[in-house]
Amino acid sequence: MSSTDAITPVLPEPAERFLAHLLVEKGYSPATLAAYRRDLEQFESFLRRRPAAALTLAAADCLDKRNIRDFVAELHRQGVKKSSMARKLSTLRSLFRFLAAKGLATHNPALRVHNPKQDKPHPRVLNVDQAFALVGDGGKGEGGTEIDEAERVRDVALAELLYGAGLRVSEALGIDLLQLDPNAVAVRVMGKGSKERVAPLGEHARVALKAYLRLRKALDPQGAEKALFLGRRGKRLNRRQANRILEAMAAEAGLPQRISAHVLRHSFATHLLEAGADMRGVQELLGHVRLSTTQRYTHLNLGKIIEIYDKAHPKARLKET
């Protein structure tokens, strides 16, 4: 445990008001609220260990840019990822902006503190053959008990949704039984920020879902459990279980890398773009608010870029005479 996390302080009332605002007025998810709370608790703990007296979020106007920079410097010494530092800074900017709007602060000390320059490694992706091997094999051999078979077809259906529709794992696991029509060409899912969107269901996904629905009862749904995807105890499958399933499927398919739900989502976007799909269309399919987010999913090599340019741009080639 790092020194910054050694103390988990009770947040002062202004910070609690901010979190209540995110819950009630912004409709943030429990996971997002928990992340905001951890960021604020970490900063409050940092302030209370400062040599100066009375440094706390309860007295926001006593804080300045130097306090925020010192916090970032400590995060850097602890080896915190730059993306995590940027998120914590975003949390603080949002907090102080809220406090100013409510008349609880006169300035935003985090406003002029720049995010650390981000490393931008390409996300891991599968090639098309690997993606087909993963989904086609299903991670478990045929045979076994009815429960084993139900789990096998469930795993294939889940992988088909993650790769075939580009869903976030939270979107796939959040689908309820009654909202799914396996004969339909799309399914409504709840994305980030409680924003609903429509995701496509390809033929392979529909076939896989129908096979799973025929065997879902073998997983012994508990009580009035409405989740589409169930674990062995009959409750909604969780994120950790889903990633373990995908890792087992990858091992069974002989893939050389660890697989997560996000790898399949990256692969979905990359394969569409490599096939010439429009960037903004892929943005809609992924449910991204900003196009710049979609652009991070691209893995087009130079040869593919030139190929697309040659086929599409009117000035790419000289006309034959």
Q: How far apart are CA 260 and CA 246, in angstroms?
A: 6
DSSP string, 46-111: HHHTSSSTT-SGGGGGG--HHHHHHHHHHHHHTT--HHHHHHHHHHHHHHHHHHHHTTS-S--TTT
- pLDDT per residue as tens digits for the range 250-260: 888 888 777 88
Q: In this predicted structure, which of 114-123, 141-150, 255-264 has the lowest mean pLDDT? A: 114-123
Annotated catalytic residue within 65, 192, 239, 304: 192
Q: What is the pLDDT of residue 120?
A: 56
- Region 167-194: mean pLDDT is 85
- Cα–chain-centroid distance for residue 121? 17
Please report how the helices 30-48 and 82-101 are oriented relative to each other, as an axis angle in degrees rounded to 10: 90
Query: Does residue 140 carry a pLDDT above 50?
Result: no
Q: Which fold has domain 128-261?
A: hpI Integrase; Chain A (1.10.443)
Active site residue 239: no
- pLDDT per residue as tens digits for the range 280-304: 777 777 777 666 666 666 555 445 5
Banded pLDDT at 29 (limits 50, 70, 90): confident
Q: What is the pLDDT of residue 212?
A: 93
Of 80-94, 113-127, 194-208, the range with the highest mean pLDDT is 80-94
Percent of the chain with pLDDT over 90: 25
Q: What is the pLDDT of residue 251?
A: 86
Q: What is the pLDDT of residue 309?
A: 61
Structural domain boundaries in the chain:
13-101, 128-261
Active site residue 192: yes
Whole-prediction pTM value? Answer: 0.59
Query: Does residue 138 carry a pLDDT above 80?
Result: no
Banded pLDDT at 308 (limits 50, 70, 90): low
Q: What is the pLDDT of residue 302?
A: 47
Annotated catalytic residue within 88, 93, 236, 288: 288
Active site residue 168: yes
Contacts of 285 (CB under 8 A, 6+ apart): 165, 166, 199, 200, 268, 269, 272
Answer for the pair 156, 140: CB distance below 8 angstroms, yes or no.
no
Active site residue 288: yes
Query: Does residue 2 carry a pLDDT above 80?
Result: no
Read off the DSSP letter of residue 190.
Answer: E
Query: Per the structure block, which two tokens stand in for 53?
Result: 């007296």
The secondary structure element, H or E, covering residue 198 is strand 196-200
Active site residue 258: no
- Region 20-35: mean pLDDT is 89
Please report how the helices 30-48 and 13-24 are oriented relative to each other, as an axis angle in degrees rounded to 10: 170
Query: Per the structure block, which two tokens stand in for 270?
Result: 């990359």
Q: What is the pLDDT of residue 95?
A: 93
- Region 235-257: mean pLDDT is 88
Query: Per the structure block, which two tokens stand in for 224?
Result: 């009035």
Query: Does residue 239 carry a pLDDT above 50?
Result: yes
Annotated catalytic residue within 36, 163, 212, 297: 297
Q: What is the pLDDT of residue 8?
A: 65
- pLDDT per residue as tens digits for the range 85-103: 889 999 999 999 999 999 8
Annotated catalytic residue within 140, 168, 206, 236: 168
Average pLDDT, the chain: 81
Active site residue 81: no
Q: How far apart are CA 62 and CA 55, in angstroms?
A: 7
Instruction: Give 241-244 contacts, CB < 8 A, sequence gap 24+.
Output: 242/158, 242/169, 242/172, 242/173, 243/169
Q: Give per-residue burial for 166-179: e unless 16+ CB within 10 Å, then b.
A: bbbbbbbbbbeeee
CATH architecture of 13-101: Orthogonal Bundle (1.10)
